[in-house]
Chain A
Amino acid sequence: MKNRWVLFVPLAIMGLLFGAFVYRLVTPAETLIQSQWIDKPMPLFDLPPATAGVQGLKSSQLADGRPRLVNVFASWCIPCRAEAPQLEALKAAGVPIDGIAIRDRPDDVAMFLREYGNPFDRIGSDMQSSVQIALGSSGVPETFLIDGKGIIREQIQGVILADQVPGIIAKLEAMK
């Protein structure tokens, strides 16, 4: 008789499993794949200018002693448009920003810069996403915080929001 409650153990286990499945169905797992290439030097690359009138981007230029941002973007990326004001604010605060344009055409990049501003010191064109893959980046926009020695310190996935701007400035300041 004292074992009667034991009979309910399988039911309880089934209930727990069912609950776990329902939970995952309702709140899907986090699908943002973070780069593992953090606290590592910038991969070697030498990208041509993304459009007329801008400089291309070489990995060796990213180790000039000044902490900076490298923004991975594209003119065809709609969220990147929403990020433009925050990049402008960072630029206004004296943060050097370099860009990498993913799978982009020069005319489209020029139009994007005309319309949404150009906070970039240099913009390299990554036609086949090879630098994006070498960075462990899985989408646009993404922003990498680089210290003065050219080491990648942090990856920000998705649009930089206005309330993230002071934190980013402080982090780059701390790397000096």
Chain B
Amino acid sequence: MSLRLVLLCLLAVFAAPVAAQDRLPPAPYAYQQLKDPAQEAKAKALMETLRCLVCQGQSIADSDAPLAGDMRHEVRSKIAAGESPAKIKAWLVARYGNWVSYDPPFDGATALLWLGPLLFLALGGWLAFGRFRRGESDEEEGAA
């Protein structure tokens, strides 16, 4: 019984995990900063606004997914080659849509988000105005 248990534990130790991910080392710039601190700062700022396609709640700066590592490599390589962050972002948005960005532009899909507060403020103002007016006219009626 105990021998079996020991054997089982040994087997567990030597069992090869099912390969669900690749066995390649990460791309050079996945976990390595650029030498120029100014360039690295630019790359880091951009990476924090880009969304990981695999673990979708994280930015590519935060994610350990291999594809996020490759995207960091892509971003850092392009920054090192002198491309502007705006151009790199546009390049990625052309491929993955605004979904890939945590800073989507003002358009049909985001209009309600931006204009919603104004809309609700206007609605509240209108309601309050109506109530004040009614209050006033009630008083007048009472006085009359």
- Interface flags, A1-44, vs B, CB<8A=1, else 0: 00000000000000000000000000000010111110000000
In chain B, what residue has the closest Cβ to A127? Answer: B24
CB distance from A60 to the nearest CB of B (A): 20
Contact assessment for B23 and A133 in the assembled complex, using a CB-CB cutoff below 8 Å = no
Q: Which residues of B contact A50 (CB under 8 A)?
A: none
Residues of the B chain whose Cβ atoms lie less than 8 Å from the Cβ of A127: 24, 27
Chain B residues 56 to 94 lying within 8 A of chain A, measured CB to CB, are: 56, 66-67, 70-71, 73-74, 92-94
For B71, the chain A residues whose CB sits under 8 A away are 129, 133
10 other contacts beyond A35-B95, A128-B74, with CB at 8 A cut-off? A33-B96, A36-B94, A36-B95, A74-B22, A78-B19, A103-B24, A105-B23, A129-B27, A130-B70, A133-B95
Q: Which residues of B contact A105 (CB under 8 A)?
A: 23-24
Asked if B122 is at the interface of the complex by the 8 Å CB criterion, the answer is: no
B70 and A103 contact, CB distance less than 8 A = yes
A: which residues have CB within 8 A of B? 31, 33-37, 74, 76, 78, 102-105, 108, 127-130, 132-136, 138-139
Q: How far is the CB of A118 from chain B (nearest CB, A)?
A: 20
Does B97 belong to the interface (CB within 8 Å)?
A: yes
Residues of B within 8 A of A103 (CB): 22, 24, 66, 70
Count, chain B residues at interface, CB 8 A: 25
**CB pair B99 A33 closer than 8 Å:** yes
Residue of A at shortest CB range from B22? A103
22 A-B contact pairs sorted by A residue (CB < 8 Å) = A33-B53, A33-B100, A34-B97, A36-B93, A36-B94, A36-B96, A37-B94, A76-B19, A76-B20, A78-B19, A78-B20, A104-B24, A108-B23, A128-B70, A128-B73, A129-B66, A129-B71, A130-B70, A130-B74, A133-B70, A133-B71, A135-B95
B18 on the A face (CB < 8 A): yes
Using CB atoms, name the residue of chain B closest to A107: B23
Residues of chain A with a CB closer than 8 A to B99's CB: 33
Report how far A141 CA is from B96 CA in the complex, Å: 17
Q: Is B54 an interface residue (CB 8 A)?
A: yes
Q: Please give me the 4 A-B residue pairs with the lowest Cβ-Cβ distance, nearest first.
A: A136-B95, A129-B70, A138-B53, A103-B22
Give every chain B residue within 8 A of A33 (Cβ-Cβ): 53, 96-97, 99-100
> Which B residues touch A130, using CB under 8 A?
70, 74
Interface residue? B2 (CB, 8 A): no
Contact with A along B94-135 (1 / 0, CB 8 A): 111101100000000000000000000000000000000000
Identity of the chain A residue whose Cβ is nearest the Cβ of B70 in the assembled complex: A129
Q: State the CA gap A33–B95 with chains docked (Å).
A: 10
- CA of A102 to CA of B95, assembled, Å: 18
B97 touches A36 (CB 8 A): yes
